[in-house]
Structure 1
């Protein structure tokens, strides 16, 4: 790309120089011809004025030094004889034509000279002819020197065009190469790669778009990694319930095996629903939130709680205290309550109480057990053993729905989920 831009720039400079140089060269040649004619005419007129009195009086003319300037000037009689000055002994065509008094000035090229002749007139009679001549070589030297100067300027212009093309090509191509390198690093998985700014709006816009893409991909990947780690912990709850049910069936061989199988199928259904919920919640774009079916949700909580607490000989109480409706994702609330139930079953004691109540402008769901006082400990901090991952995921899901999850009472341990209540419908 660099070579192509440089070649095109130099070629454009060559074409532009040629288009200007050809007519300019012709104009230079015409200019020097006109300038030579003016010099010859000035020299001839000066001598004609100096010798006109002598010619009119019939005296031999005298061409004084300095009258001829740079040209060779001679004075001829009307019959073509050289009377004074420099020139051929016999007049040429230009002098004879001027002697006929048909024209005022005659200019011709004779041999290797440019010749100009003017008549000297006294009344209607031609008393002599003044001839001024310059060699053609002098005219050619002036034209050639000017052309050489023009060629030098054209060469310098093309050289400057080449240098400017290299400079601007470097400025233009280097940002593109850096963009390509940044895109390569991004393709290799380095989402911290950022493209430098070049000061060219179009290229900088591409760089900003690439940086935004890298940032979004990095955030998405980081979010998916964190969510995968937390979701794997969340899947432990239904698996634990299923394992406890199977172990309880093995310890009581006299019990009805069909009941254990039905309980295992129910636990597998809850596990499948948990996977579906996690996949749905892991998507960046979610479906519009509908009104939460609190009755169905609490029934699922009851089934999951009995599966977790029943083998431990612990009870579950679910209380409704005039809870308001809420527009939140049922999958998110179901997973939050599942984490709280698993936390109560694993780290708590005694009866677990789930209370759905009205908290003013929010739906509050309390999950409490009879475990020891939590004191000043932060249950949402992740311990080296891995405890706290589920609670952190539950808090993130609640905040994503516009709600909150907090430890409302350390003793007895009570976690409260606050969800924004739906606005009441306006008057018809």
Structure 2
């Protein structure tokens, strides 16, 4: 790319120089030719004035030296009307130019004789031609002047092209170096280094590309970090149905005389819940932006009741589910199901007694409380990784709730009560205040 930019710049400078130099060269040639003709006419007129008196008197004229140094190479000669050289420099016999001037039909006659540019003017005494003044300049002198000027123009053109080459190298380095650094940053990003950042070059277009690349690197790093954390926390979430399945199988082994079909049915149900958990986690692991359907709360609570009873029954504990006029919400059922699964598992593992789940209206939000009769949590933060073992699953549940625009918090430490708040589907949190029945599911 560097070589291509330099080549194109030099080529553009060369084309511009040639296109400018051609008409200028022609203009220079015409200028020198006109200037030489003017000089010859000036020298001839001066000589004609100087010799007009001698010619009128029939005396031999004396040609004065040129007054201008630029006319030093000009040959001036005085001829008789018959074409014979009387004084000065020139051929002994005049040519057609001198004869034409002697006819007194024109004031000035110009032309080329041999290798000379010639100009002739008649010398008059009244209406009578007394002589002809011939001024001549060698064509080689005129050609040399034109050639020297053209060489100077060519030198300036070469200097201009060389300057264009140097400037192209300088600006190409300034342009290409940021692109090379940008490519290096992209290579580091492709190699997995998401901390790589592209430097700023001070060129708006390249800086915008760098900013876009940096934003992409940050998003990729954030996405990978989120997926890694989600995978670690999801693996903890899968242990709950596996633990329930294991307890059911161990209970069946301890009672070999019991009907195995009940244990098999319970194992299949636990396997179904495990499969459903995996499907939920995979669905929630994808970044979905489609509008959510309205949460089917009754069906969800029934699934939670079955999972909770399977989890608590081996410990001789019960689950109590109550609805208190809950408003509708548009959230992912998989997310709510997994959050409640974490809370039930937490209550089964760390709590005691009956577990109570209440779905209620929280002033424009759907609130689901999960409480048990366990010990007071005091100042403990159950969402932090601690020796008590709360952290991983509860952190996953909180992240799932926040992804749905909700919140999960410890609303009361004694008895331990966790509250899941989910936004309603109506603007501004308004809802229909028609009474709903309050019922319990045992």
Taking structure 2 as the reference length, the TM-score comes to: 0.90
Q: Alpha-carbon deviation of 1:239?
A: 0.9
Q: Alpha-carbon deviation of 1:61?
A: 2.1
CA contact (8 A) 2:123 2:133 kept: yes
Aligned length: 427
Instruction: Tell me, in whole angstroms, the C-alpha distance in 2 between the residues paired with 1:332 and 1:381.
Output: 20
Residue equivalent to 2:161: 158
Q: Alpha-carbon deviation of 1:422?
A: 4.3
Q: Alpha-carbon deviation of 1:165?
A: 2.2
Moved over 4 A (4+): 66-69
Instruction: Tell me, in whole angstroms, the C-alpha distance in 2 between the residues paired with 1:414 and 1:369.
Output: 7
Instruction: Tell me, in whole angstroms, the C-alpha distance in 1 between the residues paired with 2:323 and 2:26.
Output: 105
The one of 327, 330, 334 equivalent to 2:330 is: 327
Instruction: Tell me, in whole angstroms, the C-alpha distance in 1 between the residues paired with 2:380 and 2:433.
Output: 45
Q: Helix, strand or coil for the counterpart of 1:235?
A: helix
Q: Helix, strand or coil for the counterpart of 1:127?
A: strand
Q: Alpha-carbon deviation of 1:63?
A: 2.4
Instruction: Tell me, in whole angstroms, the C-alpha distance in 2 between the residues paired with 1:422 and 1:85.
Output: 117
For residues 57 and 212 of structure 1, do their structure 2 counterparts lie closer, same or farther at Cα, with a shift above 3 Å needed? same
Q: Does 1:60 pair with 2:63?
A: no
1:166-218 C-alpha deviation (Å, 9 max, x unpaired): 22322333333233222222211122223333344443343333333222222
CA contact (8 A) 1:242 1:307 kept: no
For residues 287 and 90 of structure 1, do their structure 2 counterparts lie closer, same or farther at Cα, with a shift above 3 Å needed? closer
Q: Alpha-carbon deviation of 1:155?
A: 0.7
Residue equivalent to 2:220: 217
For residues 44 and 244 of structure 1, do their structure 2 counterparts lie closer, same or farther at Cα, with a shift above 3 Å needed? same
Residue equivalent to 2:245: 242
Instruction: Tell me, in whole angstroms, the C-alpha distance in 2 between the residues paired with 1:162 and 1:366.
Output: 76
Instruction: Tell me, in whole angstroms, the C-alpha distance in 2 between the residues paired with 1:290 and 1:109.
Output: 102
CA contact (8 A) 1:244 1:308 kept: no
CA contact (8 A) 1:235 1:274 kept: yes
Q: Alpha-carbon deviation of 1:265?
A: 0.8
Instruction: Tell me, in whole angstroms, the C-alpha distance in 2 between the residues paired with 1:251 and 1:269.
Output: 23
CA contact (8 A) 1:105 1:116 kept: yes
Correspondences of 1:22-421 after superposition (within 5 Å)? 22-66=22-66, 69-70=71-72, 71-383=74-386, 387-421=390-424
Instruction: Tell me, in whole angstroms, the C-alpha distance in 2 between the residues paired with 1:317 and 1:404.
Output: 23
Instruction: Tell me, in whole angstroms, the C-alpha distance in 2 between the residues paired with 1:401 and 1:5.
Output: 52
Q: Alpha-carbon deviation of 1:331?
A: 1.2
| Structure 1 gap ranges (5+) | none
1:306-331 C-alpha deviation (Å, 9 max, x unpaired): 22222122222223333333332221
Q: Alpha-carbon deviation of 1:263?
A: 0.8
1:144-167 C-alpha deviation (Å, 9 max, x unpaired): 111110110111111112122222
Q: Alpha-carbon deviation of 1:386?
A: 5.6
Instruction: Tell me, in whole angstroms, the C-alpha distance in 2 between the residues paired with 1:281 and 1:292.
Output: 15
1:84-130 C-alpha deviation (Å, 9 max, x unpaired): 33333333332222222232222233333322211111222111111
1:279-302 C-alpha deviation (Å, 9 max, x unpaired): 111111154322322222222222
Q: Alpha-carbon deviation of 1:141?
A: 2.0
Residue equivalent to 1:11: 11
For residues 286 and 100 of structure 1, do their structure 2 counterparts lie closer, same or farther at Cα, with a shift above 3 Å needed? closer
Instruction: Tell me, in whole angstroms, the C-alpha distance in 1 between the residues paired with 2:326 and 2:87.
Output: 135
Q: Helix, strand or coil for the counterpart of 2:294?
A: coil
For residues 95 and 237 of structure 1, do their structure 2 counterparts lie closer, same or farther at Cα, with a shift above 3 Å needed? same
